[in-house]
Structure 1
Amino acid sequence: MSVERVSIYRAPTTVADADAIEEWLAERIGGRVEVRDRFLRTDGDDSLAEAFAAARVRSPGERETGNTMLGAVRYEERAMAEPERAGGVLYDGIALRLAFNDALPVGERGLDHAHVVLLDRAIATWGDHDARWHKRVVVPGQPSIVSVPGLYEAPAKPEAYYREKERHALLSGGAPPREVLENEVEGEFLIASDPRTTDALKGYALAAVHFLETGEAFCPEEGCRLYDAHYQEDLIEAQLREPEFCPDHADRYGGG
């Protein structure tokens, strides 16, 4: 399947620069990329609030999702209208992708038109191997969802990060400021509103298009932009260091 057109949707409550991602992506796939406004405002309808409520993860080890009580739906309606108020909720990424597909214009659902939704919500997929939810940066498909919070939360940080966070919580009753963690924890990792966010998201946007064209979700080579990193250090190596791609994907997208 050849993708003839790509639409990237903004996440205005985040530092992600959709225009910079569009420019980078267009250089690697030969144009045919556009930026659209926030997906939940331009293509959403009232049913999406219910879809978000139904996709809520209840607990890390509980497969069943959802809370469609009136209060939860009202919260999701407010979060869609005022996205800066949303946060602290984890959602089933596959359920959201299905709901988003239903919200796409009927004439744009074909696999020749890739939709990449930059989302300001945390998403997860269920792991049958360990019966737990796992946070994700991207859930590829039509549309693909790229979670900006997932960039900071899904790949694991160094163990010292979690120890320092726990120690600070015991001493002060709260989480330490981000700059404290950065200064006191060795190792590289991204934090919320990190200035490297846009550059790190570029590879995930490409992975979404690559999946529709080839059926290949990710690359097994750790240093490639298309690698699905499970650790922050590996994410930084893949997304922020040269070369951009493994030899096979460099032939397709340039660089090397």
Structure 2
Amino acid sequence: MVETVTLYRAPTTPADADAIADWLRDRVAAEVRVRDRLLGAPDDSDVLAEALAAARVTDPYDPETGNTMVGIVRYEERALSAPERAGGVVYDGQAVGRALNARLPDRQGLDHLHVPLLDRVLGTWGDHDGRWHKRVAVLGQPSLISVPGLYEAPAKPEAYYEAKSKHAMLTGDAPPREVLEAEIEGDFLVADDPRTTDALKGYVLAAVAFVETGTAFCDDERCRLYDAHRQPGVVRAQLRDPEFCEAHAERYG
């Protein structure tokens, strides 16, 4: 049974860890705490920088990761001290989880779950199709929640990709993201979306459910614990009523 949940802030994102913690307190029996970035800059930041460099996905179709050349490690060091400079990189979520596990301030066991909100894009390797997949959540100890993954991992509406392809055919260039987001109707989340905090609540609860029950997600697409693979599904599960399916409403509602 999880007795304590510690959330970690991602200050370069619109995700409000304190608001998520308040919501979680009403739904779980555990004590819920909030701390500053787990990707902060303690004395071993050089060790973490090298671990992040080793976790970089360098080819979407190659399971091997990592580029620990001096310049890449220096970039990761700068990104740890100035996180607003990070971006454009996908990391092996399981490797990042192992690196962060060694930095946890309380490592007594799974009764104290650590859930860092991260400003990095995380992925997991798919043996079934031989490529990397971006993820919103990579669960374990700690359970990682990728804020940019919320915008990038679930697929956008088909009209988004059709408009992108049409623009490229006419101009030879990819259209600016802002143009596409303004032109396409439909429910999907965009970078720095004001709905980010609300949309992440179900993923944080899934991290607790995973440790307590061994099952993180729900099959009911109307439930916050539904693991949607498309953006309209994320909006429906996280931002529309009902909040939970009947079974999870009994447990968390």
TM-score, length basis structure 2: 0.95
Question: 2:90–2:121: 8 Å Cα contact kept in structure 1?
Answer: yes
- Residue pair 1:187, 1:233 contacting (<8 A) in 2 also: yes
Give, as a single letter, the amino acid of the residue that structure 1 aligns with 2:99.
Answer: A
Q: 1:198-251 deviations in whole A, cap 9, x for unaligned?
A: 000000010111111111121111111111110001111100011111111111
Give the Cα–Cα distance (whole angstroms) in 1 for the partners of residues 172 and 133 of structure 2. Answer: 29
Aligned equivalents of 1:196 and 1:164: distance in 2? 24
Residue identity matched to 1:228: D
What amino acid maps onto 1:136 in structure 2?
A: R
SS in 1 for 2:209: helix
For residue 188 of structure 1, report the CA deviation from its aligned partner: 1.1
- Contact persistence 1:165–1:176 (CA under 8 A): no
In structure 2, the partner of 1:91 is 91
Other structure's SS at 2:76 match: helix
Q: Determine if the alignment matches structure 1 residue 182 to structure 2 residue 156.
A: no
How far apart, in 2, do the equivalents of 1:169 and 1:194 lie? 25
Kept after mapping to 2: 8 A contact 1:101/1:109: no
Tell me the distance in 2 between the aligned counterparts of 1:73 and 1:20.
34
Whether the 8 Å contact between 1:165 and 1:181 is mirrored in structure 2 is yes
Q: CA RMSD in A?
A: 1.5
Distance between the aligned counterparts of 1:108 and 1:95, measured in 2? 18
Which amino acid is 1:154 matched to?
Answer: A
Alignment-derived partner of residue 221 in structure 2: 222
Is 1:139–1:146's contact at 8 Å kept on the other side of the alignment?
A: yes
The equivalent of 1:102 in structure 2 is 102
Counterpart residue number, 2:75? 75
Structure 1 unaligned residues grouped into runs of 5+: none
Take 1:245 and 1:61, find their aligned partners in 2: how far apart are those partners? 36
Q: Which residue of 2 aligns with 1:38?
A: 37
Structure 2 portions without partners, runs of 5+? none
Residue 246 of structure 1 aligns with which residue? 245
Q: 1:144 to 1:245 in 2, by over 3 A?
A: same
What are the residue-to-residue correspondences of 1:55-70 with 2, within 5 Å?
55-70=55-70
The answer to whether the 8 Å contact 2:5/2:30 transfers is: no
Q: Quote the offset at 1:76 in angstroms.
A: 0.4
1:161-197 per-residue CA deviation (whole Å, 9 max, x = no partner) reads 122234444527353242x323321321000000100
Return the alpha-carbon distance in structure 1 between the equivalents of residues 55 and 217 of structure 2. Answer: 25
User: Which residue does 1:137 correspond to in 2?
Assistant: 136
Partners in 2 of 1:79 and 1:238 — Cα distance?
33
Give me the whole-angstrom Cα distance separating, in 2, the residues matched to 1:182 and 1:244: 27
Deviation at 1:30, TM superposition (A): 3.4
Q: Is the 8 A contact 2:41 2:80 kept in 1?
A: no
Structure 1 CA distance, aligned partners of 2:91 and 2:250?
36
CA deviation vs aligned residue, 1:120-143 (integer Å, no higher than 9, x gap):
000000000000100000001000
Aligned residues: 251
SS of the residue 2:198 aligns to? helix
Cα deviation, residue 25, structure 1:
0.5
The AA in structure 1 aligned to 2:231 is: Q
Other structure's SS at 2:102 match = helix
Deviation, structure 1 residue 32: 0.7
Indicate conservation of the 8 Å contact 1:238/1:244, yes or no: yes
Q: Which amino acid aligns with 2:79?
A: A
User: Does the CA-based 8 Å contact 1:45-1:103 persist in structure 2?
Assistant: no
- Give the Å deviation of 1:21: 0.3
User: Normalization by structure 1: what TM-score?
Assistant: 0.94
